[in-house]
Amino acid sequence: MQKNDITPFLSTINRYIAAKDNNKPHLLSQVFTQQATLSMQVNTDGISFPSEVVGRHAISDVLVSQFNQTYENIYTFCLSDSIDRNGSLLACKWLVAMTEKESGNLKVGCGHYDWEFQSEDGSSVKKLSITIRHMFTLDFQNTAHFLHGLSELPYPWCFSSSARIEMPAIPALQDIRTFLDQI
Protein backbone atom coordinates (compact mmCIF):
# COMPACT_ATOMS: atom_id res chain seq x y z
CA MET A 1 0.00 0.00 0.00
CA GLN A 2 1.31 3.44 -0.87
CA LYS A 3 1.72 5.83 2.04
CA ASN A 4 -1.20 8.06 1.00
CA ASP A 5 -3.50 5.29 -0.26
CA ILE A 6 -6.80 5.53 1.61
CA THR A 7 -8.57 2.79 -0.36
CA PRO A 8 -8.40 0.13 2.42
CA PHE A 9 -9.76 2.66 4.94
CA LEU A 10 -12.67 3.51 2.64
CA SER A 11 -13.41 -0.19 2.03
CA THR A 12 -13.68 -0.81 5.77
CA ILE A 13 -15.92 2.24 6.21
CA ASN A 14 -18.06 1.09 3.26
CA ARG A 15 -18.69 -2.21 5.09
CA TYR A 16 -19.70 -0.29 8.21
CA ILE A 17 -22.20 1.84 6.23
CA ALA A 18 -23.58 -1.26 4.48
CA ALA A 19 -24.06 -3.00 7.83
CA LYS A 20 -25.73 0.00 9.50
CA ASP A 21 -27.93 1.15 6.64
CA ASN A 22 -29.00 -2.31 5.47
CA ASN A 23 -29.40 -4.14 8.80
CA LYS A 24 -26.51 -6.55 8.22
CA PRO A 25 -24.77 -6.87 11.60
CA HIS A 26 -22.60 -9.77 10.40
CA LEU A 27 -20.59 -7.31 8.29
CA LEU A 28 -19.24 -5.60 11.38
CA SER A 29 -16.98 -8.59 12.07
CA GLN A 30 -15.00 -7.28 9.08
CA VAL A 31 -14.97 -3.72 10.43
CA PHE A 32 -14.31 -3.63 14.18
CA THR A 33 -11.79 -5.41 16.38
CA GLN A 34 -13.33 -7.66 19.02
CA GLN A 35 -12.69 -5.08 21.79
CA ALA A 36 -13.39 -1.96 19.75
CA THR A 37 -14.92 1.08 21.42
CA LEU A 38 -17.60 3.45 20.21
CA SER A 39 -17.99 6.90 21.71
CA MET A 40 -20.93 9.10 20.86
CA GLN A 41 -21.24 12.83 21.36
CA VAL A 42 -24.85 13.80 20.70
CA ASN A 43 -25.28 17.58 20.41
CA THR A 44 -29.01 17.48 19.70
CA ASP A 45 -32.24 16.34 21.30
CA GLY A 46 -33.32 14.79 17.97
CA ILE A 47 -31.86 11.34 18.71
CA SER A 48 -30.24 9.49 21.59
CA PHE A 49 -27.43 6.97 21.89
CA PRO A 50 -25.30 5.71 24.77
CA SER A 51 -22.16 7.81 25.22
CA GLU A 52 -19.86 4.77 25.12
CA VAL A 53 -20.14 1.18 23.92
CA VAL A 54 -17.40 -1.44 24.25
CA GLY A 55 -16.97 -4.55 22.10
CA ARG A 56 -17.92 -5.43 18.53
CA HIS A 57 -21.08 -7.28 19.56
CA ALA A 58 -22.38 -4.35 21.64
CA ILE A 59 -21.53 -1.86 18.87
CA SER A 60 -23.41 -4.05 16.39
CA ASP A 61 -26.41 -4.18 18.70
CA VAL A 62 -26.58 -0.39 19.10
CA LEU A 63 -25.67 0.79 15.60
CA VAL A 64 -27.29 -1.94 13.53
CA SER A 65 -29.86 -4.12 15.32
CA GLN A 66 -31.52 -1.51 17.56
CA PHE A 67 -31.12 1.26 14.99
CA ASN A 68 -32.88 -0.76 12.30
CA GLN A 69 -35.77 -1.58 14.63
CA THR A 70 -36.62 2.12 14.64
CA TYR A 71 -35.52 3.40 11.22
CA GLU A 72 -35.76 2.38 7.56
CA ASN A 73 -34.87 3.89 4.19
CA ILE A 74 -31.48 4.78 5.69
CA TYR A 75 -28.97 6.67 3.54
CA THR A 76 -25.66 7.51 5.19
CA PHE A 77 -23.20 9.52 3.14
CA CYS A 78 -19.60 10.13 4.04
CA LEU A 79 -18.53 13.41 2.50
CA SER A 80 -15.53 12.82 0.25
CA ASP A 81 -14.34 16.41 0.35
CA SER A 82 -14.01 16.30 4.15
CA ILE A 83 -11.62 13.32 4.47
CA ASP A 84 -8.60 13.95 6.68
CA ARG A 85 -6.16 11.08 7.22
CA ASN A 86 -3.15 11.02 9.52
CA GLY A 87 -1.51 7.61 9.86
CA SER A 88 -4.08 5.19 11.27
CA LEU A 89 -6.61 7.98 11.93
CA LEU A 90 -9.24 9.06 9.44
CA ALA A 91 -11.88 11.72 9.97
CA CYS A 92 -14.77 12.74 7.75
CA LYS A 93 -18.11 14.46 7.92
CA TRP A 94 -21.35 12.58 7.27
CA LEU A 95 -24.98 13.16 6.36
CA VAL A 96 -27.83 10.76 7.09
CA ALA A 97 -31.48 10.66 6.02
CA MET A 98 -34.00 8.02 7.04
CA THR A 99 -37.62 7.50 7.95
CA GLU A 100 -39.06 6.49 11.29
CA LYS A 101 -40.82 3.14 10.95
CA GLU A 102 -43.59 4.03 13.39
CA SER A 103 -44.53 7.53 12.20
CA GLY A 104 -43.12 7.64 8.67
CA ASN A 105 -41.49 10.99 9.52
CA LEU A 106 -38.28 11.99 7.81
CA LYS A 107 -35.16 12.30 9.96
CA VAL A 108 -32.10 14.15 8.63
CA GLY A 109 -28.83 14.62 10.48
CA CYS A 110 -25.15 15.38 10.11
CA GLY A 111 -21.93 15.20 12.03
CA HIS A 112 -18.40 13.82 12.14
CA TYR A 113 -16.81 10.39 12.15
CA ASP A 114 -13.39 9.96 13.75
CA TRP A 115 -12.00 6.51 12.96
CA GLU A 116 -8.99 5.01 14.71
CA PHE A 117 -7.77 1.94 12.84
CA GLN A 118 -5.71 -0.78 14.44
CA SER A 119 -2.90 -0.07 11.96
CA GLU A 120 -2.12 2.02 8.92
CA ASP A 121 -3.41 -0.73 6.63
CA GLY A 122 -7.00 0.39 7.37
CA SER A 123 -8.28 -3.15 7.82
CA SER A 124 -9.96 -2.93 11.23
CA VAL A 125 -11.27 -0.22 13.52
CA LYS A 126 -10.33 -0.15 17.19
CA LYS A 127 -12.21 3.05 18.01
CA LEU A 128 -14.99 5.02 16.36
CA SER A 129 -16.08 8.40 17.68
CA ILE A 130 -19.32 9.75 16.26
CA THR A 131 -20.39 13.33 16.78
CA ILE A 132 -24.00 14.15 15.92
CA ARG A 133 -24.18 17.90 15.32
CA HIS A 134 -27.76 18.14 14.07
CA MET A 135 -30.70 15.76 13.82
CA PHE A 136 -34.13 16.95 12.73
CA THR A 137 -37.43 15.08 12.51
CA LEU A 138 -39.89 16.35 9.92
CA ASP A 139 -43.40 15.53 8.83
CA PHE A 140 -42.33 16.28 5.26
CA GLN A 141 -44.77 15.90 2.38
CA ASN A 142 -42.03 15.18 -0.19
CA THR A 143 -40.09 12.50 1.70
CA ALA A 144 -40.25 9.97 -1.14
CA HIS A 145 -39.02 12.56 -3.66
CA PHE A 146 -36.14 13.55 -1.35
CA LEU A 147 -35.12 9.92 -0.75
CA HIS A 148 -35.26 9.20 -4.51
CA GLY A 149 -32.90 12.12 -5.07
CA LEU A 150 -30.50 10.76 -2.45
CA SER A 151 -30.63 7.33 -4.07
CA GLU A 152 -29.16 8.89 -7.23
CA LEU A 153 -26.05 10.17 -5.41
CA PRO A 154 -22.81 8.16 -5.33
CA TYR A 155 -23.16 5.98 -2.25
CA PRO A 156 -21.82 5.96 0.39
CA TRP A 157 -19.21 8.58 -0.61
CA CYS A 158 -20.27 11.81 -2.23
CA PHE A 159 -19.22 15.43 -2.32
CA SER A 160 -20.94 17.84 0.04
CA SER A 161 -22.02 19.98 -2.93
CA SER A 162 -23.90 17.00 -4.43
CA ALA A 163 -25.66 16.31 -1.13
CA ARG A 164 -26.44 20.01 -0.76
CA ILE A 165 -28.23 20.02 -4.12
CA GLU A 166 -30.61 17.30 -2.90
CA MET A 167 -31.33 19.03 0.44
CA PRO A 168 -34.88 20.45 0.51
CA ALA A 169 -34.89 24.24 0.75
CA ILE A 170 -37.04 24.34 3.86
CA PRO A 171 -36.23 26.37 6.99
CA ALA A 172 -36.12 23.28 9.23
CA LEU A 173 -33.01 22.03 7.37
CA GLN A 174 -31.07 25.30 7.20
CA ASP A 175 -28.53 24.09 9.79
CA ILE A 176 -27.82 21.00 7.66
CA ARG A 177 -27.40 23.08 4.50
CA THR A 178 -25.01 25.38 6.40
CA PHE A 179 -23.05 22.33 7.63
CA LEU A 180 -22.70 21.10 4.03
CA ASP A 181 -21.56 24.55 2.89
CA GLN A 182 -18.74 24.61 5.47
CA ILE A 183 -16.74 21.78 3.94
What pLDDT is stored for residue 5 in this prediction? 85
Exposed/middle/buried for residue 147 (C-beta within 10 Å: 0-12, 13-18, 19+): middle
Contact call for residues 67 and 47 (beta carbons, < 8 A): no
In the predicted structure, residue 151 carries a pLDDT above the cut 60: yes
The answer to whether position 1 is within a domain reads: no
pTM of the model: 0.95
Q: Which domain holds residue 90?
A: 7-181
User: Taking all residues of the chain, what is their mean pLDDT, rounded to a whole number?
Assistant: 95
Determine, yes or no, domain membership for 2. no
35 has a pLDDT exceeding 70: yes
Report the amino acid identity of residue 36. A
CATH of the domain at 133: 3.10.450.50
For residue 62, being part of any structural domain is answered with yes
pLDDT at 7: 94
Mean pLDDT of 71-85: 98
Evaluate whether residue 14 is within a structural domain: yes
d(CA 69, CA 77): 20
How far lies 91's CA from each of 24, 87, 169, 178, in Å?
A: 23, 11, 28, 19
| Structural domains counted in the chain | 1
The answer to the question of residue 148 being in a domain is yes
Residue 132 inside a domain? The answer is yes
Task: Give the tens place of pLDDT for each residue, 109-149.
Answer: 999 999 999 998 898 999 999 999 999 999 999 999 999 99
What string of H, E and C letters represents the secondary structure of 145-162?
A: HHHHHHHCCCCCEECHHH
Residue 4 — very low, low, confident or very high, per pLDDT cuts 50/70/90?
A: low
What's the confidence (pLDDT) of residue 1? 38
